[in-house]
A and B are shown apart, each in its own frame.
Chain A
């Protein structure tokens, strides 16, 4: 039966070509949009995670409540032990201590007095003897001049601030900030390299130094403001992150200590909840839109096909085929069209997505003076969903379209069939 229907479709191109093209186009767009949106949204989430939030973040309760003020006086203490226990409890994650701080950077003249100053927002990360954080934060392409710190006391500074303060790699500067115990902290650094991100908030005055130097500068021995957790070799998974946070926080649920550690998933930080929810629902939104849009197009195509095949259906009914059987063959034909169109659409859609995943689209020129963290190259992301998502609108919309268009069969009057055929 299937072979019979298939032969019919192949021989009568007017019955199959347009619907297959429509289905294939819809599926290509569905597959491409799904992979592109999950790539772009996922990359934005990953950028935020890598720079500021991690997939999960551990802080003290008090720090978490005032985190926008970067209150290092409320930082975590005994970080080595805490990090060790986190590694044991969550072996599927890697952990990185970070210290975020604000301050004033002062460049001296030849007599040691203030020559120029600039406000900095600083970050202490593991830089010496490790490239993990450099690659995680993708700092390589942002290095404009100089080199990454290789000795204690060296730091990276935003290229824009460097130019404003008339600094170059090798120059000495003094950081004036607030220590962990609220005391004034002054510390000498050497600028080893300058960075340019193309993101205003980072280029305005970011300084990055090795976490041990920042600890020395701010009197934060074995302390850090935050410990960031990242799923090893995986993108952000909200369900897993929430489960990890729940299980970690359960250990301290009875503690009254406001310095007890607390773990937050990315979706509960920096207003990321909306983006995470959007990323989780984006596939459903795309599929629904395309099922409706394609079903309407294919319904119309089915109606036109039905008109063209008016005589054929009449003859089949006249020679004794039931309306139900005719209707079922129309639906079965549409199912075949849907499958063929979807296979073509998925293959082409995957090829385009693969290109966008591998090569991407460089939007750095459009990102000048951007105020949010977003990768400068838009890339698609092919996941397991990308392989099957196209079949959902491809098959459903074709079948729904054919079912709607085929209803006309039941309106034919058997008594008038020969009269119609004569006409």
Chain B
């Protein structure tokens, strides 16, 4: 009987000490934010959108300042060339050269797909640090593509978070998410993002390739490849001006 009690005690001690080896969710998110968030970003990226019938690749130049300002100009293909998007706080304007019109997108339209991709305007617009939006709990460890990852469950602490819960596999060495599942409040899996081509960018780890998969749609998903990136660089204020759209 004594040996049984000792066994239980030993198990509890081991289990507790193992759990104590987990870093806190907050510390992980803090490190992820330090890698993924920047004061400003300027990048050129290609977006490969796969549909049931065809595949399209669009190239765009994106400017971002904090999580309040973003400006995107499409460079290719010809059909999209000259289309511009400006996000200021929670407002988004789109300029289309074919109609010569600047249209404001708001409300539920922000949940619509960007250029037919698996990303919504909300996905594209949200660059708020995770720590400001979610409470994080480390729930285990797993290996993805040979990299040891913390499995972190994020629960929204602000009412306007795009997804109520997120499950994130964070590389335990580089503190970069390698995979992310995004859930609705009902628990339904809405989107899956896989990150790859993690490289050192200005002294921090950054994934240069993302695949966004809308789990409610057929198709291979949307591949976003960053061709050039500059972080924390000076962006002229005129870029984030409505007049810059035309």
Contact = CB atoms under 8 A, between A and B. Distances in A.
B59 interface: no
Contacts of A108: 101
A112 interface: yes
A420 interface: no
B40 interface: no
Contacts, number: 75
Interface in B214-246: 242
A181 interface: yes
Contact of A73 (B52, B99, B106, B112): B52
B116 A186 contact: no
A74 B53 contact: yes
B106 to A, nearest CB: 8
Contacts of A186: 94, 96, 98-99, 101, 103
**Interface size classification for chain B:** 20 to 34
Nearest to A176: B103
A313 interface: no
A184 B83 contact: yes
**Interface size classification for chain A:** 20 to 34
Interface in B140-163: none
A188 interface: yes
A181 B103 contact: no
B76 interface: no
B110 to A, nearest CB: 11
A106 B103 contact: yes
Interface of A: 62, 73-74, 104, 106, 108, 112-114, 117, 174, 176, 178-179, 181-184, 186-188, 219, 258-259
Please give me the 8 A-B residue pairs with the lowest Cβ-Cβ distance, nearest first. A182-B116, A186-B96, A114-B104, A106-B103, A186-B99, A182-B51, A174-B101, A188-B99
11 contacts: A73-B51, A73-B116, A104-B105, A106-B101, A113-B104, A114-B102, A114-B103, A176-B109, A181-B54, A181-B56, A183-B79
Given A178-B112, A184-B80, 13 more contacts: A73-B52, A106-B103, A114-B102, A174-B96, A174-B101, A174-B103, A179-B116, A181-B54, A181-B56, A183-B80, A184-B83, A186-B98, A258-B52
